[in-house]
Amino acid sequence: MEELDKHRHNIDDIDQKILELLNKRAKEAMSIGEIKKAAGEPLYVPSREKKIFERLTGMNSGPFPNDALRSVYREIISASLSLEEVQKVGYFGPEGTFTNMAAIKQFGLSATLVPVRNIPEVFDSVERGRLAFGVVPVENSLEGVVNHTLDTFTTSNLKICGEIYLEISHNLMSKTGKMDGIKEIYSHYQALGQCRKWLAQNCPDIPVHEIDSTAKAAELAAKDETIAAISGEAAQLKYGLRVVEKSIEDNPNNFTRFLLIGNYEPLPTGNDKTSIVFSVAHRAGSLYEALSVLAKENINMTKIESRPSRQKAWEYVFFVDVEGHIADNKIKTAIDGLSEHTAFLKVLGSYPKGEK
The CATH architecture annotation of domain 272-352 reads 2-Layer Sandwich (3.30)
User: What are the pLDDT digits (tens) for 55-87?
Assistant: 999 999 989 999 899 889 989 988 888 887 777
pLDDT at 145: 87
CA atoms within 13 A on the CB side of 246: 2
Q: Secondary structure of 278-294 in the HEC alphabet?
A: EECCCCCCHHHHHHHHH
Asked if the domains at 88-168+255-262 and 171-245 fall in one CATH topology, the answer is yes
CATH among 3.40.50.720, 3.40.190.10, 3.30.1340.30, 2.60.40.1250 for 88-168+255-262: 3.40.190.10
CATH among 3.40.50.450, 3.40.190.10, 3.40.1190.20, 3.40.50.670 for 171-245: 3.40.190.10
Where does residue 227 fall: left (phi above 0), alpha (psi -120 to 50 degrees), or beta otherwise?
Answer: beta
Q: Check pLDDT > 60 for residue 33.
A: yes
pLDDT at 44: 82
Side chain identity at residue 64, one-letter code: F
Distance CA 142, CA 135 (A): 20
Residue 126's pLDDT band, with cuts at 50, 70 and 90, is very high
Averaged pLDDT for residues 222-242: 91
Distance CA 101, CA 135 (A): 10
SS3 content of the chain, % helix, strand, coil (to 5): 40, 25, 35
Residue that wins the pLDDT comparison between 195 and 110: 195
CA 143 to chain centre: 16
What is the pTM (predicted TM-score) of this model? Answer: 0.83
Provide, rounded to the nearest whole percent, the portion of the chain with pLDDT above 70.
Answer: 98
Show me where the domains of the chain are located. Answer: 2-84, 88-168+255-262, 171-245, 272-352
CATH 1.20.59.10 at 2-84, yes or no: yes
Cβ-proximal residues to 222 (8 Å cutoff; 6+ apart), any chain: 175, 239, 240, 241
User: What are the pLDDT digits (tens) for 276-323?
Assistant: 999 887 777 788 888 898 988 899 999 999 988 766 655 788 999 999
Distance CA 1, CA 5 (A): 6
Residue that wins the pLDDT comparison between 49 and 211: 211
Cβ-proximal residues to 19 (8 Å cutoff; 6+ apart), any chain: none
Lowest-pLDDT choice from 14-18, 139-143, 349-353: 139-143
Residue 332's pLDDT band, with cuts at 50, 70 and 90, is very high
Q: Check pLDDT > 80 for residue 1.
A: no
- Cis check for the bond before 63: say yes or no (omega within 30 of 0): yes
CA distances to 13, 116, 163, 342 from 81, rounded to whole Å, are: 27, 22, 19, 41
CA 239 to chain centre: 23
* Number of helical H runs and strand E runs in the chain: 12, 15
